[in-house]
Chain A
Amino acid sequence: MNELIRTENLTKEFETRTGFTGISKIKALDNVNISLFPNEIVGIVGASGSGKSTLAKILVFLYKSTSGKIYFKDEDITKIHGKSLKKYRKEIQMIFQDPYASLDPYHSIEWHIKRPLLTSHYSGNIDDRIDELMNMVKLTPPEYYKNKFPHQVSGGQRQRVYIARVLALNPQILIADEPVSMLDVSLRIDVLDLLSKIKNELGIGIIYITHDLNTVSMVTDRIYVLHNGEVVEDGYTNTILTSPHDGYTKALIEAASDPYKRI
């Protein structure tokens, strides 16, 4: 089975100005090699500032990488732009961290799901497709939610609306950038459930970015541990969580919350 997406020595440097002429460079990503297969969830774990979100934004081309290569189905897409970039973006979509910010407050939920269908020139009946998508993400009955505005539904429901919005494009890859970190703890399981259900039903690959090791063990098949922009450890989730090699991974596992632990 071929990788859906693969990065080769991906590096990203941010430039900051110091003084009048000096430019200092900060390495956000350092020779990152990751891969994603269809029908799997890959976790990218790391603390804040480890470059997780930078990686996500490079993969959807909101940032440009400094060096390194990105392959989509064995095709070098590092330098695509214009029409081919638009085509590629239909295949790879991103779920944002904050569902309160990722939905336009002035438009109804139906609008959010309808727009991607219109931009991708969906050939079938649009209303039927909207209903289908809303049922898929368990926003039922669709009629009840369609004309509501984002501020009228809960955080978990907003994230479902957003997932329906990106699924409308039929992507092959979903990048979920901390999709549950802003949600109420009791709602997290539902959204994660939904993600793995989508993976199983549609066979798409999901990159799940988080700093929360508890949720990682629930949904991911493999994980990459990022530390200061470098991949310090990667492998199957169970293997890494039970027998970590790297010191940083050990510290992360140590820090993961355990309801019976007291400080």
Chain B
Amino acid sequence: MEEKSNLNGKITYNKSKKLNGYTSIIRSSLATLLKNNKSKVGFILLLSIVTFSIIGIFYTPYNPNAYLFKFSQPPNFVNLLGTTGYGQDVFSELLGGAAPTLMIAFSVGLLGTLIAVLVGIFAGFTSKTTNAVINAFINIFLVIPGVLLIMLFGTYFLGIHQNLGYLPTIIILVITGWAFGARTFRSITLSIVKRDFILSSILIGESKMSIIMRQIMRAIMPVIVSNFFFTSMYGAMGLTFIEYLGVGNVEQVNWGTMLYWAINYEAYLTGAWWWILPPSIMISMLMFSLILLNFGLDEMANPSLRVFKKKKRDKNE
């Protein structure tokens, strides 16, 4: 009887442990991320930019599209960041344009990383010939000049006068942005698959799917997150670039179109710094925060570094 109750106790104990396990992975990786000063700054910066964009979804002081004010007013109490050469409020544009910019950056990061992980792990895990074929395929996408493709597709979508919103932009950026990550994941998977602990799992009788999900994904998780940040950066930069060139839909409000109109109005010649600087600074801040976050990932990628810190803390306790 005693044993039975003991067993029951054990089982429930294990279940609760498992739940704790998943949350603790997230919590511990967040903790390691925040332990590093650089990534802490990056995290706070990104968090504030995201908050800024969320505010922009629900509230802007004025309608960012409406021409309500005098042309090219420097910052004053009515217009915090002045007005554009067309009479729009710059601060409202900045606030309202944040969400689309971030949305595109992160969706390009998410989609690009997803494709990269799927293709990369598959290439690393299949036979030699399939691997070579996929590798050639990745290489083709790697050498496609993104700028050219962007201009080509951009003008095409402009030409057919179809308003698909940001969809074409996202698709183009994902097509030109996934290949680099896929190559990284392919080579990492190739090196992990040959290690003893994977051979051991094959001998134990684990299925391929189980090895991929339980062991390979776990081992490359920091690289996945880092790749997400880099591809997001590419997304933000690509969007700005597309809009700046004017091959996207310039009627939409985001930080890229703000720059497009500013350059179009030759704001740098008329001295309207309040129009050019805010979107430029915000884009740079976004890039900067993502780069800083990547620094902290170095530590996460190397579990032995983490262990050292843990041991140190144990001693103190």
Chain A interfacial positions (CB closer than 8 Å to B): 60, 62, 86, 89-90, 93-94, 96, 98, 101-107, 115-116, 119-120, 125, 127-128, 149, 151-152, 162, 165-166, 169
Contact = CB atoms under 8 A, between A and B. Distances in A.
B205 interface: yes
Contact of B197 (A93, A104, A119, A151): A104
A116 B200 CA distance: 10
Contacts of A104: 197, 201, 215, 218-219
Nearest to A110: B14
B215 A169 contact: no
A119 B206 contact: yes
A127 B205 contact: no
Given A104-B219, A151-B304, 7 more contacts: A62-B203, A104-B201, A104-B218, A106-B215, A119-B204, A125-B7, A152-B307
A40 to B, nearest CB: 22
Contact of B196 (A60, A98, A169): A98
B10 interface: yes
Contact of A93 (B201, B203, B307): B203
Contacts of B199: 62, 96, 102
Given A106-B218, A106-B303, A152-B307, A101 B205 contact: no
B197 A103 contact: yes
A83 B79 CA distance: 73
B206 to A, nearest CB: 6
Interface string B83-120: 00000000000000000000000000000000000000
A101 B195 contact: yes
Given A125-B7, A127-B10, A152-B307, A102 B203 contact: no
B47 interface: no
B11 interface: yes
Interface string B224-242: 0000000000000000000
Interface in B265-317: 303-304, 307
A119 B205 contact: yes
Interface string B190-211: 0000011101111111110010
Contacts, number: 68
A166 B199 CA distance: 13
Nearest to B221: A106
Contacts of B218: 104, 106-107
A177 to B, nearest CB: 10
Nearest to A131: B10
A114 to B, nearest CB: 10
Interface in B9-34: 10-11, 14
Contacts of A162: 200
Q: Give the one of B200, B207, B304, B307 with max A CB within 10 A.
A: B200
Nearest to A169: B204
Contact of B204 (A98, A116, A152): A116
Nearest to B14: A127
26 contacts: A62-B202, A86-B205, A89-B203, A89-B204, A89-B205, A94-B203, A96-B199, A98-B196, A101-B197, A102-B200, A104-B197, A104-B215, A104-B218, A104-B219, A107-B214, A115-B201, A116-B204, A119-B204, A127-B11, A127-B14, A128-B7, A149-B307, A151-B304, A162-B200, A169-B204, A169-B205
User: Per DSSP, are chain B's interface residues mostly helix, strand or loop, or mixed?
Assistant: helix
A96 B303 contact: no
A112 to B, nearest CB: 9
Contacts of B197: 101-105
A128 B303 CA distance: 30
Contacts of B204: 89, 93, 115-116, 119, 165-166, 169
Nearest to A92: B203
A12 to B, nearest CB: 17
Contacts of B215: 104, 106-107
B196 A116 contact: no
A107 B206 CA distance: 15
Contacts of B202: 62
A40 B307 CA distance: 41
Contacts of A94: 200, 203
Nearest to A171: B203
B219 A106 contact: yes
A169 B200 CA distance: 13
Contact of B206 (A103, A115, A125): A115
Contacts of A96: 196, 199-200
Nearest to B218: A106
A102 B303 contact: no
Contacts of A127: 7, 10-11, 14
A94 B200 CA distance: 8
A102 B218 CA distance: 16
Contacts of A105: 197, 303
Closest CB pairs A-B (n = 4): A102-B196, A101-B196, A119-B205, A104-B197
A104 B303 CA distance: 12
Contacts of A106: 215, 218-219, 303
Nearest to A86: B205
Nearest to B195: A101
